[in-house]
Homo-oligomer: A and B are copies of this chain.
């Protein structure tokens, strides 16, 4: 049907203004024909590497430990000298010195001799075992040994943990405190990690006001700007909030150009519904090849979504409604951002639960329904939150969502469903 609406560019054809409604999988395939996430690498000092993803195989430049060292406090001895020693018949050795941790021993332990040694201190030449302090008594320079030791006993051999040249950690691992410890152990002071890609976030709409500002008549606060910025951050990227733009072509174009100049990805929300005259997608169409690739997603919520590639970088257009924007971000945008941040091993947390009441779904669209998880009689229940895609408060209560596939029109009360858990949700 032709566009016979008034000045708002209203149209009464559900699909008019949309290129062609695409499934999520089609949308991804079309995008990937023109763009693939390529993570960049940065070198950072160890103290700032925590939580980052390793971009190189780390090879040890040292043996660990770097020398034979005492595993306990005691006396470094020649094991052969202690053979036969026991509680009844101790063997007496002459103590020729002491070695603290951090010392480099110059002394040598000859036959019939020993040296006092602290845990972690290097073994002196000549000695090949340590008698634990609990098994010896010292009086002046004479040490009586009450238990025999075997060669190597209570000694940690050089390179027994890590050999110089060995790979201690492979690229791709997220640096937990333990792995930071492992890098420290082999002396790594700086390490290559994947860069946190910069992602521009723009909110479009004449009705939007920045939170904290005074709300004029007819205005609402911008929800998507702050929420999408934080969602970008949880994907390991650095959000660059370019603020609110009125839905006027020149302003929208200028904001997107600013985003493309300084960031790897641009996300703009609002202004892409057909009812608004396709303002943002039209602007993007004029910004060069290949331009607009997808306009309209067969997903509920989420239809007024677009995907474009401009200047070799992706521009994602999210719906203006916050719940829709959030769901499209989660399904379409977030996986690319995580990959761009070098995180290939993301496993989405999922829970299996019983649906607390029936959901009716639109045929021919994949539907995402936010749910709250409750524990009742020892069983996990998924309670659908059906307040509509404008209601951000339904997301504040949601622990995750269930996906109703394209072909289904209903999920029955009591059915077992899989819930995709939102990051950071406290699941009871």
List residues of A whose CB falls within 8 A of some B CB: 4-8, 10-14, 45-47, 50-51, 62, 64-67, 71-74, 95, 98, 100-105, 116-122, 133-139, 156, 161-162, 168-169, 173-190, 205-213, 215-231, 233-234, 241, 246, 273-276, 320, 322, 326, 345, 347, 387-388, 390-393, 395-396, 398, 422-426
A218 & B186 in contact (Cβ 8 Å cutoff): no
Alpha-carbon separation in the docked complex, A273 to B74 (Å): 13
Taking the closest CB of chain B, its distance from the CB of A245, in whole angstroms, is 12
Q: Taking A223-B184, A225-B184, A424-B174 as contacts, is the C-beta distance between A396 and B275 under 8 angstroms?
A: no
Alpha-carbon separation in the docked complex, A139 to B230 (Å): 45
A98 & B7 in contact (Cβ 8 Å cutoff): yes
B206 & A169 in contact (Cβ 8 Å cutoff): no
B425 & A275 in contact (Cβ 8 Å cutoff): no
Taking the closest CB of chain B, its distance from the CB of A120, in whole angstroms, is 6
A387: which B residues are within 8 A, CB to CB?
161
Interface of A is mostly: loop
Taking the closest CB of chain B, its distance from the CB of A58, in whole angstroms, is 10
A275 & B12 in contact (Cβ 8 Å cutoff): no
A8 & B118 in contact (Cβ 8 Å cutoff): yes
Point out the residue from B102, B178, B190 that lies within 8 Å of A227, measured CB to CB: B178
Taking the closest CB of chain B, its distance from the CB of A333, in whole angstroms, is 12
Q: State how many copies of this chain the complex holds.
A: 2
B133 & A66 in contact (Cβ 8 Å cutoff): no
B181 & A326 in contact (Cβ 8 Å cutoff): yes
Taking the closest CB of chain B, its distance from the CB of A10, in whole angstroms, is 5
A180 & B121 in contact (Cβ 8 Å cutoff): no
A224: which B residues are within 8 A, CB to CB?
181
Closest 5 pairs (CB-CB, A-B)? A189-B212, A181-B227, A73-B275, A102-B206, A102-B207
A229 & B47 in contact (Cβ 8 Å cutoff): yes
B221 & A46 in contact (Cβ 8 Å cutoff): no
Alpha-carbon separation in the docked complex, A3 to B14 (Å): 89
Q: Which residue of B lies closest to A5 (CB)?
A: B138
A10 & B133 in contact (Cβ 8 Å cutoff): yes
A46: which B residues are within 8 A, CB to CB?
211-212, 226
Alpha-carbon separation in the docked complex, A347 to B393 (Å): 24
Alpha-carbon separation in the docked complex, A388 to B160 (Å): 12
Alpha-carbon separation in the docked complex, A177 to B223 (Å): 10
Point out the residue from B7, B47, B64, B104 that lies within 8 Å of A241, measured CB to CB: B47
A173: which B residues are within 8 A, CB to CB?
426
Alpha-carbon separation in the docked complex, A84 to B67 (Å): 94
Q: Taking A67-B218, A206-B100, A212-B46 as contacts, is the C-beta distance between A392 and B6 under 8 angstroms?
A: no
Alpha-carbon separation in the docked complex, A100 to B72 (Å): 78
B234 & A50 in contact (Cβ 8 Å cutoff): yes
A218 & B181 in contact (Cβ 8 Å cutoff): no
A161: which B residues are within 8 A, CB to CB?
387, 390-393
A276: which B residues are within 8 A, CB to CB?
101, 118-119
A227 & B177 in contact (Cβ 8 Å cutoff): yes
Point out the residue from B6, B50, B71 that lies within 8 Å of A138, measured CB to CB: B6
Q: Which residue of B lies closest to A180 (CB)?
A: B230
A223: which B residues are within 8 A, CB to CB?
181, 184-185
A326 & B121 in contact (Cβ 8 Å cutoff): no
Further pairs besides A101-B205, A181-B395: 8, Cβ < 8 Å: A4-B137, A5-B138, A8-B117, A12-B137, A65-B390, A161-B390, A161-B393, A347-B426
